[in-house]
Chains A and B, each alone.
Chain A
Amino acid sequence: MGYPHAPHARETVVLSKYFGDSEATTLDGWRKRGGYVALEKALGMTPAEIVGIVKDSGLRGRGGAGFPTGMKWSFMKPGDGKPHYLCCNADESEPGTFKDREIMRWTPHALIEGCAIGAYAIGAETAYIYIRGEFTEPLQRMEAAVREARAAGVIGPNAMGTGKRVDVWVHKGAGAYICGEETALMNSLEGRRGNPRIKPPFPAVAGVFGQPTTINNVETLAAVPHILNNGAEWYKKFARPDNPKSTGTKLWSVCGNVARPGNYEVVMGFPFKDFLYDLCGGPLPGRKFKAVIPGGSSVPIMNMEEAEAAVMDYEGMVAKGSMLGSAGCIVIDDAQCMVKQIARLARFYAHESCAQCTQCREGTAWTTKIMERIEAGEGSMDDLDTLLEIGDSMTGKTICVLSDSCAVPVVSGIQKWRHEFEAHINGKRCPFRAAAAA
C-alpha cells in the first residue's frame, strides 16, 4: 500500500502502512489489521505502566517542539480530584506539513486508539480531537470512525467492556494557523477567540476549561498503539546508534521543487541527503536544489551544504542550524527567488497573527511590506538592517512563537542569500523575474 505512491524501499513503514487502503478506514478493516489490540491491552494496565512504557520508548512530540511524550503525560497528577482532558492537536496548520491529514484520512481508528490510550494514561475520561477547519475529508473520516467506534463500544462509558469511560470527541476549528498553538487551541475549543494564553499556568495545571490538560499531536498519539504492541525496545531501535534522544519512525511531508513530493516515513537519524536525492527523487530535470526548509515554515532555512550534511532527527537538524519542527519539508530550487519565497512566508504570518502582542501584530505586517517592496525592486540597503532589527524585536519577546517564526526565515534568508537581496536592491528589479521575461 501507499499513498500517493508506493513506499520507497528505504522507508520504514509503521504509521503509513495503510495509507491508500480504504478498508483500513473502517472499524472492521482496522480490527483485521490488528487495531484496538493495544487499547484492550492498555485498559488492562495501570496508567502509570503505560506512561512508563511511553517514557522508555523515547517518543517525542511530533507537532514541532519535540517534548518527550511520556514526561508530558507524567505531569498529569492522578487523584487530584479534577477532571483531566486530552487534546489531540489535529490543526496541522504549519505550512508544508500534511502528514496528520493522511493519518486521519486513511487510519482514523489509529488516532482514536491512540487518543483512548493517551486519555486513559493521563487519567482523562474525555479526549478532544481538534481538527483544522479546512480539513473537510479528514473531518468526515474522523467523525465516521468515532461514530463507529462509539457504536461498537470501543470507546464510550464502557470502553472495550472494561467499565472504564473513555470518550473521544471531534471538534472542528474555523481555520486559523494560530489555533495549532496549544493554548490558542484550548481557547478555540472553549468557544473563545483563538488567542494564545500566557504560560504559566501550563496546560498540565490549567488547560481546557481550566482543568489539567495534555495536548499531543496526531502523529504522536498514532504511534502509541504501536509502542504498546511492540514494546519500548522495538521503538528505541529506530534511531542513530550514537543518538538515543530521537527514536522511532517519523513521517516527513515533502513539497516544493522536488521530483517526487509526498509523505515519507523514515527512521530517526536517516541521512537527509539520501532522503532528498534518493527517496524524493532529487530536483526536477535541469534544476538544482538551492534551499530546504526542513521542519515547516517556522524553522530556519538551510542551504544545501547544511542540508546535505544533516541527519533527520531532532538533534541532527539543530546541529545544522535548523530544526526538525513538524517535518514539513519545503524544497526550493535554483529557479526560485528567495526574496519572493520569504516574502510569501512573511505574508502568511502577517495574515495569521492573532494581534495580541505588539511586536507580532505590527512586526509581521511591517516585515511583509518591506520584503514585498524589496521583491518589487524598490528596496534599499538600510531595509536589510531594518529587517534584521525588527527580527530581533520579534524574537523571544511575545506570548507565543508566531512572531519568532516570521522572523526566522527572514533572518536566515538574509544571512544565507544576502546576494539575492542585494541584487534586487541594486538592480531595482527581481533578477528572477527579469530572467524569466528575457
Chain B
Amino acid sequence: MADVKTINLTIEGRPVAVAEGTSILEAARTAGVLIPHYCYHPALPVAGVCRMCLVEVEKAPKLAPACATSVAEGQVVHVHSEKAREARKGVLEMLLINHPLDCPICDQAGECELQDYTFQEGRKDSRYKEPKRFNPMEDFGGDVVYVPNRCILCTRCVRYMDDVAQDPVLNVSERGDRAYIGKFEGKDLTHPWAGNVVDLCPVGALLSKDFLNKARAWELDRTASICPNCTQGCNAIIETRDNVVVRMRPRGNPDVNEFFLCDTGRLDYRWMNGPNRLELPAVRNGTVLVDADWDVALGAAATVLRGKRALVLASPMLSNEALHLLSRVVKATGGTGAFRVARGPEAPLPGVKDLALRSERAANVVGAEKLGFTKTDTPLAGMRDGDVLLIVNHALTEAEIATANRASAVVFVGTTLPAGLTNVAAVLPITNFAEEEGTFTNLRGRVQRFLQAKAAPGLARPSWFVLADLLASLGETTNYFVPSEVFAALAASHPEFAGLSYDALGLRGLPVVGAAQPAGAPS
C-alpha cells in the first residue's frame, strides 16, 4: 500500500489528497462533496451511462463523468458550476420525459434519488408535449417486481446480477427510448441474493413484493442492527412503522457484507412482530401458572434453582451480554449449558469475498460457544435426575418437551411459552432481539452491536436485565444498569474480548482477539 502515489487536487475549492487511480467521484466523497449520480455504485463495475455525475474540470475541453475519470495532479474540479448544473438539469429533464411522475403511489417516494435530485436542481416544469412511453409492470420472480415506466436504465441491477451474484438473469433489451430491463427467457430473480437489486435501484423501478404498498418511506423509523438469521452477521437496518418491523435492509460494512443482505435475511423479520408473546411474569400455583410481580417470579425461579444443578438451554440468538450472565448462572449452580442450532443450505454471494447465507441459522453461535455453551443436536442429553432446567428462549422439539417434563423443575425465560411444559415453576418474559440492545459474535469472531428497534410488549424486560436480576436473586453480585456495563464485565473476564467496549465497537464492530482479519482490512 505504501508505494501508491498520492494525488493532490481541488474539488469545490477544497484540497483533496487521494491515492492514484481514485475516481473524481470517490475523491469528492472523501472531501464531503456529493456528486449526484445514478449508475455509479461502489460495489459494481463502472458503467458511466447515466451522465449525471458530469463535472467541470478546469482545462478539460468537455465535462467529465466523475465516476469514470481518475484524479490527476493539480486538477481543479467544479461540481456546482453553471456548466455542470446545466448538464445535470438536462439529464434530469431527459430522465423525466417518459417517467409517469407517479410519486404519490410509488414505494420509492421519499427515498428516491430521482425525486431528490429533481427537487434539488431539476426544472420546475417539463417541455415534453408528446405522449409518454408505456410498458406494463413485470414480475421478475423472487421478491422483485419491475416497473419499466419508472426505470432510468442505470443498469445497476444488470451489473449486480452479472458481476456480483454472477447469475446473469437481467439485460438491457431493445435500443433507444424503447429500451427496458429484460429478463432472459426462462430465468427469474430467484438467486438467494437477488433481492439486493431492489436496494440498488436508485428509483422506483425495482420494488420488493414483500414491502409493496406497505408504508411510505418517511413514516419509517430506522435502527442500526445486525441481521440475526445466520452466523454471517450482515449489518442491517431494521425499519419499523408504528412499532412494527416492516422491512430489513442491508447496512454497508466492507468487512462483513459490503452493501448486501440475502433474501432469507431480508424477508425473515416477521417473527420480530410475532404473536403469543409473554407479557407478564408468572409463577406456578398448583396446576396452573398465574401472573405475578417480577420480584415474585424471580424469587420463585431462585427458589427452585437454589441448591440444584441447572441445565441451561441457551438460545444461540441471545446476545453476548445475556449469554455472559447466563454462563454465570451455570457456574453458580454447578450446572452445564448447551444449545442446538437450526441449519439450512449455505448460499454464497460469489462476487464478495467470504459472504454467504451460512448454514447455521442463528446470530450468535460463536458467541455462545466462546462463552462456554456446548453446541449439540441433543442439548438435553446431559440432564441428570434432580436437575433444574433453565430454558432461555431455546426451541424445543416434542420429544424434548417430554424430557423437560422429567426435570425437577423448569424455569422458562423467553418470549413465547411452548405448549406442553407441565412443570414450569416460573416464567420470566424477555424482549426479543429487535426490542433490546446488545452484541453478537459472528462466525469470523467479529463482535457487532445491534440497537433497539421497537418497544417491548407488556412487562417484558431485556434478556440481560432479567438474567442479571436472576443472578442477584441467587445471591450473586451484579451491578449493571445498561448493557454496555455487562459487556465491559464480559470483556474483563474473557481474554478473547479484552480491550473491546461498546464505544470501540461503534456500528461496524471489531474482531475478538485472535480472529482472522478479513483480507485487506486495516489492522
Binding site for B on A (CB under 8 A): 176, 193, 198, 350-359, 361-366, 369-370, 373, 382, 386, 389-390, 392-393, 396-399
Contact A365 B175 (CB under 8 A): no
Q: Which of A358, A369, A382, A398 counts the most B-chain CB atoms under 10 A from its CB?
A: A358
A359 to B46, CA, bound (A): 18
Say if the beta carbon of B51 comes within 8 Å of chain A. Answer: yes
- The answer to whether the Cβ of B68 comes within 8 Å of any Cβ in the partner chain is yes
A-B contact pairs, 18 of them (CB 8 A): A198-B46, A351-B175, A351-B176, A352-B175, A353-B175, A355-B179, A356-B47, A356-B49, A358-B50, A358-B94, A359-B51, A359-B94, A362-B97, A362-B177, A366-B177, A369-B130, A396-B63, A398-B51
B65: which A residues are within 8 A, CB to CB? 198
Interface flag for B184 (CB, 8 Å): no
State whether A373 touches B130 (Cβ < 8 A).
yes
Closest to A365 in B: B177
Q: Using Cβ atoms and an 8 Å threshold, which residues of chain B touch A176?
A: 175
Is A399 a contact partner of B90 (Cβ separation < 8 A)? Answer: no
Q: For residue A369, which residues in chain B have a CB less than 8 angstroms away from its CB?
A: 130
* Shortest Cβ gap from B514 to chain A (Å): 41
Sort A-B residue pairs by CB-CB distance and give the 6 closest, nearest first.
A393-B90, A355-B179, A365-B177, A362-B94, A353-B176, A356-B49
Chain B residue nearest in CB terms to A193: B172
**Contact bitstring B169-183, A, C-beta under 8 A = 1, else 0:** 001101111110000
Given contacts A363-B94, A396-B63, A397-B63, contact A357 B175 (CB under 8 A): no
Q: B471: shortest Cβ distance to chain A, in Å?
A: 63
Q: Is B43 an interface residue (CB 8 A)?
A: no
**Which of A350, A353, A397 is the one whose CB lies under 8 Å from B62?**
A397
A interface, by DSSP: helix, strand, loop or mixed?
A: helix
Q: How far is the CA of A382 from the CA of B127 in the complex (A)?
A: 9
Chain B residue contacts of A390, Cβ below 8 A: 90
Please, which residues of chain A bring their CB within 8 A of the CB of B62?
A: 396-397
What is the distance, in angstroms, from A342's C-beta to the closest C-beta of chain B?
Answer: 17
Q: B91's contact among A350, A359, A370, A399, by CB below 8 Å, is which?
A: A359
Q: Is the CB of A355 within 8 A of B175?
A: yes
The B30-67 residues at the A interface (CB cut-off 8 A) are 46-52, 54, 62-63, 65
Question: How far does the alpha carbon of A389 sit from the alpha carbon of B128 in the complex, in Å?
Answer: 13
Complex: A322 Cα to B102 Cα, angstroms: 44
Interface size on B, residues (CB 8 A): 34
Q: Are A352 and B176 in contact (CB under 8 A)?
A: yes
Point out the residues of chain B lying under 8 angstroms from A389, CB to CB: 90
Q: CB within 8 A of A355: which of B90, B93, B129, B153?
A: B153
Given known contacts A358-B50, A359-B90, A393-B90, A366 and B176 CB-to-CB distance under 8 angstroms = no
**Which residues from A are CB-within-8-Å of B95?**
358, 362
A361 lies within 8 A of B179 (CB): yes
In the complex the two chains form, is A355's CB within 8 Å of B174's CB? yes
CB distance A355 to B176 under 8 Å? yes
- Residues from chain A with a CB closer than 8 A to the CB of B46 are 198
Assess whether A361 is in contact with B130, with CB atoms less than 8 Å apart.
no
**How far, in whole Å, are A399 and B174 apart by their CA atoms in the complex?**
18
Say yes or no for B98: interface residue by CB 8 A criterion. yes
Q: Does B9 contact A (CB under 8 A)?
A: no
B175→A358 contact, CB < 8 A: no
In the bound complex, do residue A358 and residue B98 qualify as a contact, i.e. CB atoms below 8 Å apart?
A: no
Contact flag A357-B51 (CB < 8 Å), given A198-B65, A362-B95, A369-B130: yes
Known: A366-B97, A366-B128, A396-B63. A358 touches B52 (CB 8 A): yes
Pick from A198, A351, A363: contact of B68, CB under 8 Å: A198
A357 / chain B contacts, CB cutoff of 8 Å: 49-51
Give CA–CA (A156, B108) in the complex, Å.
59
Chain B 75-106: CB-based contact to A (< 8 A → 1; otherwise 0): 00000000000010011011101100000000
Which B residues lie within 8 Å of A352 (CB)?
175-176
Contact A366 B94 (CB under 8 A): yes
Say whether B48 contacts A355, CB under 8 Å.
no
CB-CB under 8 A from B63, the residues of chain A are 396-397
A401 to B197, CA, bound (A): 30
What distance in Å separates the Cβ of B81 from its nearest Cβ neighbour in chain A? Answer: 14
Set of chain B residues within 8 Å of A386, measured between Cβ atoms: 127
Distance of A277 from chain B, by nearest CB (Å):
38
* Contact (Cβ within 8 A) B94 A393: yes
| Max chain A C-beta neighbours (<10 A), residue from B87, B90, B152 | B90
How many angstroms between the C-alpha atoms of A361 and B95 in the bound complex?
A: 9
Name A403's closest neighbour in chain B (CB-CB).
Answer: B51
A390 to B93, CA, bound (A): 10
Cα–Cα distance between A309 and B176 once the two chains are bound (Å): 37
B178 to chain A, nearest CB (A): 8
